[in-house]
Amino acid sequence: MAPSPADGARSVRRATGSRPRVLSVAGTDPTGGAGIQADLKSFAAHGAYGMAVTTAVVAQNTHGVRLVHVPGPEVLAAQLDAVSDDVAVDAVKIGMVADAAGARTIARWLDRVRPPFVVLDPVMVATSGHRLLDAGAEDAVRALVGRAEVVTPNVPELAVLLGETEAGSWEAVLDQAARLAATTGTLVLAKGGHLAGTTSPDALVSAGGCVLLEAERVETPHTHGTGCSLSAALAALRPQRDGWEPAAREAKEWLTGALRAGGALAVGTGRGPVDHLHELVPARPFSEEAWERVAPWRSAIEENAFVRALGDGSLAPAAFASYLAQDAAYLEQYSRVLSRASAAAPDPGARAFFARSALGAVDAEQDLHVRWLAEHAGMDADDVARVEPSGVTAAYTGHLHAAAAGSYAETVAALLPCFWLYAHVGESLAARAGDLAAHPYGAWIAQYADPAFAEATRRACGLADAAARAAGPAERRRMLRAFELSAMHEQLFFDQGLEGTSEAQTLVPASSGYTHR
């Protein structure tokens, strides 16, 4: 991607130590989810001092717009001059322009003041698909595009700026964005949120190429003001970052979290807002958010063929032997990471919990695993100790050790799924298994369905929540990522149970007389 002229010619404000002063030029939203109210919260969330000039007074809520009052170009010009005559403006975000006279007023002000960084969010199409501006106003907004460093249209707005039919695919969006960038000389942050799919791709597109910014799609009705909030975050971040790409990546990551957290705000009965301050004041405990984020992995584990066969007793003993041997290898490394968590814990209670858990992991290995393998597979403790970790096992324990090389909070987050997902599986299987004493794998199910293990899981959740409360926004994001990766590894670990059935024969000494039944 060809760099914007601003990337090389302008210094980064963070070197001065002052907060960037960022101006929103947009309409209002009395419910706070969009417009200048959302912009000011986005600025604050990214450490900027926010200012606002009103282009239109909008009576709207989470259900839609009821009335728009445009004060007129004289009032708009007076507001813009009042700001720039007194305050050095480091960046500007332009949102709803409302009419052609307002767009021309803003254009003249930009030409005279020349703020260092300008982001234009061309508010031209309502969520319902209705055009918000007449033809003259649309032409005036197009003229503003060339005065901005970055323009952030959604799919319908991109089509309006080009005077074309709305793109129906991500490839068509990128093509339109490239042509808009080529004709205007402005970077285009193309957004794929309006398209269907499991991901929500964005891209920074210039005449010289594009940089993809991918993220998972957040399934939520709480999307009011997402365009306003993303463009405002971008404007706030650019004076503090070395280019548009790092600013855009950080803004997108922040918005993804804001979308996830929006429902907990309980604002309005329609399409609610995102949570702009989710990183500063989390609306819910870490464990609650983390558990929700791994719902796909939980579902995969619940439907896993190995887990289902384990629960109904139909699992081949060779498969269970293979699984237990790998779990013994895993628990050896897991107990070491628990010990590292104990050493790094900030208080005596946490240190004692993780120390007991490390000892418990060893006990579980020696008791359940070795005892079962000795009885059913003819393997003694030395045989188990010689088992080589599979690629899946090594990948999981490698992830745990990598997390432990980070902070205490990341370590706790990475360890938690082994508590929580096993407690979840144990409880689910026990509810369906009937008499565990007569079940071929009843001892395994009983261990993880034990109320004492459930209590240990609750304690581990509480310690993770406490660590997250003490963590900053970036560290909390790393905690969530560590938790998600551990959940993924748990699912893969169960998957290898059936994949390793034939390999299990190689784990059993030939002299044992064990045969696959």
Domain regions of the chain by residue span? 20-150+219-262, 286-511
Shortest CA distance to 309 belongs to which of 189, 444, 465, 216? Answer: 444
Cα separation, 89 vs 276, whole angstroms:
22
Of the candidates 31, 54, 223, 393, the residue annotated as catalytic is 223
The alpha-carbon radius of gyration of the chain (Å, integer) is 28
Q: Does domain 20-150+219-262 have CATH number 3.40.1190.20?
A: yes
User: Would the pLDDT of 473 be above 60?
Assistant: yes
Across 352-364, average pLDDT: 86
Say which residues have a Cβ less than 8 Å from residue 74's Cβ, sequence separation at least 6. none
Cα separation, 339 vs 121, whole angstroms:
51
Q: What is the pLDDT of residues 318-336, one digit of tens each?
A: 888 888 889 888 998 999 9
Cα separation, 259 vs 279, whole angstroms:
12
User: Would the pLDDT of 472 be above 90?
Assistant: no
Whether residue 228 lies in the annotated active site: yes
Task: Name residue 337's amino acid.
Answer: V
Of the candidates 226, 393, 397, 411, the residue annotated as catalytic is 226
Whether residue 223 lies in the annotated active site: yes
Of the candidates 95, 228, 426, 497, the residue annotated as catalytic is 228
Q: What is the pLDDT of residues 424-433, one digit of tens each?
A: 999 999 998 8
Distances from the Cα of 300 to the Cα of 197, 208, 295, 497, 499, angstroms: 20, 42, 9, 14, 16
pLDDT band for position 73 (50/70/90)?
Answer: very high
Shortest CA distance to 421 belongs to which of 300, 337, 261? Answer: 300
**CATH fold for domain 286-511:** Heme Oxygenase; Chain A (1.20.910)
Q: What is the pLDDT of residues 205-228, one digit of tens each?
A: 998 899 999 887 888 899 899 999
Q: What is the pLDDT of residues 377-399, one digit of tens each?
A: 677 667 766 778 899 999 999 99
Whether residue 252 lies in the annotated active site: no
Whether residue 191 lies in the annotated active site: yes
Of the candidates 225, 272, 311, 442, the residue annotated as catalytic is 225
Whether residue 210 lies in the annotated active site: no
Whether residue 93 lies in the annotated active site: no
Which is more confidently placed, 239 or 320? 239
Say which residues have a Cβ less than 8 Å from residue 517's Cβ, sequence separation at least 6. 316, 317
SS3 304: coil
Of the candidates 191, 393, 418, 501, the residue annotated as catalytic is 191
